[in-house]
Amino acid sequence: MITFRLDPASGVPTYLQLVHQVKHALRVGQLQVGDQLPLVREVVASLAINPNTVLKAYRQLESAGLTVGRPGVGTFVRVDVPDQTVMATPALRRRLSAWVDAARKEGLDDQDLSALFASALHDSVAEGVA
């Protein structure tokens, strides 16, 4: 079972934060096939958030094929997500390293890099690509 948390300052819509946390838990193996997600009511009561927000997140996970809802019982993990950690995708990692090197040559410091990455991430979330 996972516990959701919210970062109000992230600018990421609440339902997407929940979706991301489930995907993350799947990637790192914290959630596995057959595991149950917290009941909607439990999430609502512990975070004091809108039930429709939780339902929206769970619907999105279900339509992505990651979970299955059993009416009256709960929502369960349906598939094992292939390991998509950074280490498992060397090509992506190489490109990111190259990008970091290039940015440093342009004179950007660590904070600039984080800000740039966060802004790109934020834009992609805002445009619904995430």
Partner 1 sequence: MSAPLEVTGLGRSFGHTWALRHCSLRIEPGSITALVGPNGAGKSTLLQLAVGLLTPTEGTATIFGQPPATSAAALAQVGYLAQDHPLYRGLTVGDLLRMGRGMNPTWDHDFALGHLAELGIPLSRKAGGLSGGQQAQVALTLTLAKRPALLILDEPVASLDPLARRDFMATVLADAADRGTTVVLSSHVISELERVSDHLVVLGSGQVQVDGAIDDLLDRHRILVGPGYASPPTGLRHVLSEHTTERQTTLIVELDGPVQDPRWTTHPLSLEDLVLAYLRDPDAGTRTFATQATGSLS
Does 32 engage in binding with partner 1 (CB under 8 A)?
A: no
Sequence-separated contacts (24+) of 71-79 with Cβ below 8 Å: 74/36, 74/37, 74/39, 75/36, 75/37, 76/34, 76/35, 76/36, 76/37, 77/26, 77/31, 77/32, 77/33, 77/34, 77/35, 77/36, 77/37, 78/33, 79/33
Closer Cβ to partner 1, 108 or 130, answer by number: 130
Does 16 engage in binding with partner 1 (CB under 8 A)?
A: no
Smallest gap from residue 40 Cβ to partner 1 (A): 5
- Pick the binder of partner 1 from 49, 57, 66, 77 (CB under 8 A): 49
Does 115 engage in binding with partner 1 (CB under 8 A)?
A: no
Does 44 engage in binding with partner 1 (CB under 8 A)?
A: yes
Smallest gap from residue 49 Cβ to partner 1 (A): 5
Does 5 engage in binding with partner 1 (CB under 8 A)?
A: no
Q: Which residues bind partner 1 (CB under 8 A)?
A: 6, 8, 11, 13-14, 40-41, 44-54, 122, 126-128
